[in-house]
Amino acid sequence: MAEETTKQELEAAQEGATQEIVQEQVEKETPLEAPKKQQDPQEFLDTFDWERYSEGIEKVDEEQLKSFEKLVAENFVDTIDSDVITGTVIKITDRDAIIDINAKSEGVISLNEFRYNPNLKEGDKVEVLVDVREDATGQLILSHRKARLIKAWERVNNAHDTGEIVNGYVKCRTKGGMIVDVFGIEAFLPGSQIDVKPIRDYDAYVDKTMEFKVVKINHEFKNVVVSHKALIEADIEEQKKEIISRLEKGQVLEGVVKNITSYGVFVDLGGVDGLVHITDLSWSRINHPNEVVELDQTLNVVILDFDEDKSRIQLGMKQLEAHPWEAMSDKIKPGDKVKGKVVVIADYGAFVEVEEGVEGLVHVSEMSWSTHLRSAGDFVKVGDIIDAEVLTLDREDRKMSLGMKQLTQDPWTDITTKYPVGSRHTGVVRNFTNFGVFVELEEGVDGLIYISDLSWTKKIKHPSEFCAVGDKLDVVVLELDVEGRKLSLGHKQTEDNPWDKYQGEFGVGTKHEVEITEMVDKGAVVKFNDDITVFIPSRHLEKEDGSKLGKGEKAEIEIIEFNKEFKRVVGSHMVIHKEEEAKIVKQAAKQQQDADKPTLGDANSKLQALKDRMEGKVEAAPAKKSSKKAAKEEE
């Protein structure tokens, strides 16, 4: 029915247009002086050769043709055009909606495309796109979904280009943010773009309609990104300028804790944020701001400084209270005993909070009477409650030094009673120097063992060759300097000097059967035990036949030098056979001397001869020269 009506209207329009064309043509061809009878339009239509006209044989005035085309364009829709057009709902059935788009026939759209609009009714204007000009039944098929999608992209692109604010419906959560319906297009709302404040509950925004700004479009992948935060920030910037223009240093404001970081707290002052640095939260030393404040907590802050250009505001909380040093009791003075909590430990000492916001330093040298350099962590740890004595107090510079060792007796007070010279004790090796070992007898009482007093027998180049840090050593007090707080100790003195015994066993002149164990540049070495090593110079290795002893040979040696102080023992093999030779020579000389002496018979003969000479019986004979005299005379 609708199709027939449309055809009748089209024919009527064509007839009217034709009549006008005919009328104008008649008027042009008929002179004014002798007007002819006007041709009937119906007659013109019946007799007009449209085929000849379409082939260009029949001419029609251009003005008439344009008038006809304009009339058709104003009253009819070209169904070939792919542009989105507006139609009117003229009827709604169980499954479809009949839409009038002012074409030859009405179009049909499935109601499924109007699910988002359950209140659709006759007379509503809707946007449509010609999907199929004629289906199998000759019906014009329209699409509202496609038209709506095209229009939606046009609106989104326009909103992105112009910065227009759009409304969107938050459909659901997704990884990293939310899905928002904008003009029927699913856009992505990142979690960071929901609000200027960190979002802890994303579900609270689902099923809400909010305002957004289109911030990014990816035409290749058809992705749209929107932001609600951008709208808030724009408003906040305006508020910031207005708020900052009214700010003054020292002004006290109320704010809400917006965010907590390791270095401070961000406070919302009603549209503008300020930072309370961790050092400005409390006069007391804290490790993290969450020890003092909580999220969403309302608190009072004071403006310390602000930068109008960068819109940065520095806030403080502790400044709202009097400085603890000013409120500290006047009764505290040097020499007083105080109790405090260890809040910070450094290598050089520990900071102790004696009152809230009032700290004193206990230097590591004041923690113990011990003179050994150690870390403060060896004595205390953070959180310990300790007793100390106030050593110095400077209220103007707000400095206080404390001492822990002063609460115990100085071990050097009765040092002469506990550690007299010659007394024996056991100590712990604490550290080394090139010249000795420091041994701790008790905390605060140290003594030095010189390297020469470590052992009677061993030659030690460095103390670490003899002992290790932490070893226990028996010592004897050798010297005591009370004023200088110095102790001289000895370890070898705890035992008898074995060289006193060795002096008798390996003294000069003693002889020993040995085996040459090692040859060196200037001689040989014979080792008796761990302490005694005998050195034999090269010339003293000579044997009787003129050759020299070698490694592995056994021989007898004689000790020719024994130095207890320098622990030096020297032996000789040569002196053994030289002594034998000398003994033989001596024995031969003695025998010769004995041979030259007169016997008893000779003496009697001489006495008799002398008696005879005296009696004149025999002439005196010349005296016989001794062999020695004869030898001299011969020489």
pTM of the model: 0.40
| Residues 420, 482 share a domain | yes
| Residues 221, 182 share a domain | yes
- The tally of CA atoms less than 13 A away on the side-chain side of residue 591 is 6
Strand ranges (E), 136-251: 140-143, 165-174, 177-182, 185-190, 209-218, 223-227
Predicted confidence band at 343 (pLDDT cuts at 50, 70, 90)? confident
Longest CA–CA separation in the chain, Å? 239
* Residue 402 included in any domain: yes
Amino acid 593: pLDDT = 63
Task: Return d(Cα 301, Cα 320) in angstroms, integer.
Answer: 7
| Residues 215, 183 share a domain | yes
* Residue 242 included in any domain: no
Q: Which residues constitute the domain of residue 266?
A: 247-320
* Residue 155 included in any domain: no
Among the listed residues 315, 195, 194, the one whose alpha carbon sits nearest the alpha carbon of residue 255: 315
- Looking at residue 444, which CATH number applies to its domain? 2.40.50.140
| Residue 293 identity | V
Amino acid 30: pLDDT = 42
Predicted confidence band at 265 (pLDDT cuts at 50, 70, 90)? very high
Predicted confidence band at 266 (pLDDT cuts at 50, 70, 90)? very high
| Residues 504, 490 share a domain | no
Distances (CA, A) of 415 to 411, 483, 486: 7, 11, 10
List pLDDT tens digits, range 393-433.
Answer: 888 788 889 988 888 888 888 888 888 888 888 888 988 88
Burial 116-133 (b: 16+ CB within 10 A, else e): eeeebeeeeebbbbbbee
Please state, for a pLDDT cut of 90, what percent of the chain lies above it.
Answer: 4
Q: Which residue, of 470, 494, 518, is where some domain finishes?
A: 494
Task: Return d(Cα 365, Cα 351) in angstroms, integer.
Answer: 14
Average pLDDT of the residues in 129-141: 68
Structural contact between residues 257 and 265, judged by C-beta atoms closer than 8 angstroms = yes
* Residue 237 included in any domain: no
Task: Return d(Cα 109, Cα 118) in angstroms, integer.
Answer: 14
List pLDDT tens digits, range 250-262.
Answer: 888 888 998 899 9
Residues in the chain: 635
As a 3-state breakdown, the chain gives helix, strand, coil percent values, each rounded to 5, of: 30, 35, 35
Alpha helices in 245-370 (DSSP H): 324-327
| Residues 351, 306 share a domain | no
| Residues 503, 573 share a domain | yes
* Residue 503 included in any domain: yes
Predicted confidence band at 36 (pLDDT cuts at 50, 70, 90)? very low
Task: Return d(Cα 75, Cα 294) in angstroms, integer.
Answer: 71
Residue 356 has pLDDT above 50, yes or no: yes
| Residues 403, 328 share a domain | yes
Average pLDDT of the residues in 471-497: 85
Amino acid 509: pLDDT = 80
Residue 439: other Cβ atoms inside 10 A = 26
Q: Tokens at residue 125, please?
A: 């204007």
- How many domains is the chain built from? 8
Structural contact between residues 475 and 440, judged by C-beta atoms closer than 8 angstroms = no
Lowest-confidence region among 16-25, 370-379, 383-392: 16-25
Distances (CA, A) of 25 to 20, 68, 508: 8, 14, 165
- Give the relative orientation of helices 62-75 and 2-29 as an angle to the nearest 10 degrees: 160
Structural contact between residues 382 and 341, judged by C-beta atoms closer than 8 angstroms = no
Q: What angle do CA 532, 535, 540 make, to 5 degrees?
A: 140
Structural contact between residues 170 and 205, judged by C-beta atoms closer than 8 angstroms = yes
* Residue 394 included in any domain: yes
Q: Which residue, of 206, 232, 258, is where some domain finishes?
A: 232
| Residues 572, 502 share a domain | yes
Written as one string, the DSSP assignment of 429-495 is EEEEETTEEEEEEETTEEEEEEGGGS-SS---SSGGGT--TT-EEEEEEEEEETTTTEEEEESGGGS
* Residue 403 included in any domain: yes
| Residue 606 identity | K
| Residues 606, 564 share a domain | no
Distances (CA, A) of 61 to 16, 58, 438, 517: 16, 10, 128, 143
List pLDDT tens digits, range 592-611.
Answer: 665 555 555 555 565 566 55
CA dihedral of 380, 382, 387, 389, whole degrees rounded to 10 = 90
In three-state secondary structure terms, 291 is helix
Average pLDDT of the residues in 90-98: 85
Structural contact between residues 301 and 255, judged by C-beta atoms closer than 8 angstroms = yes
Average pLDDT of the residues in 100-104: 75
Structural contact between residues 564 and 503, judged by C-beta atoms closer than 8 angstroms = yes
Residue 310 has pLDDT above 60, yes or no: no
Q: Is the model more confident about 301 or about 504?
A: 301
Q: Which residue, of 25, 40, 75, is where some domain finishes?
A: 75
Task: Return d(Cα 278, Cα 265) in angstroms, integer.
Answer: 7
* Residue 239 included in any domain: no
| Residues 378, 312 share a domain | no
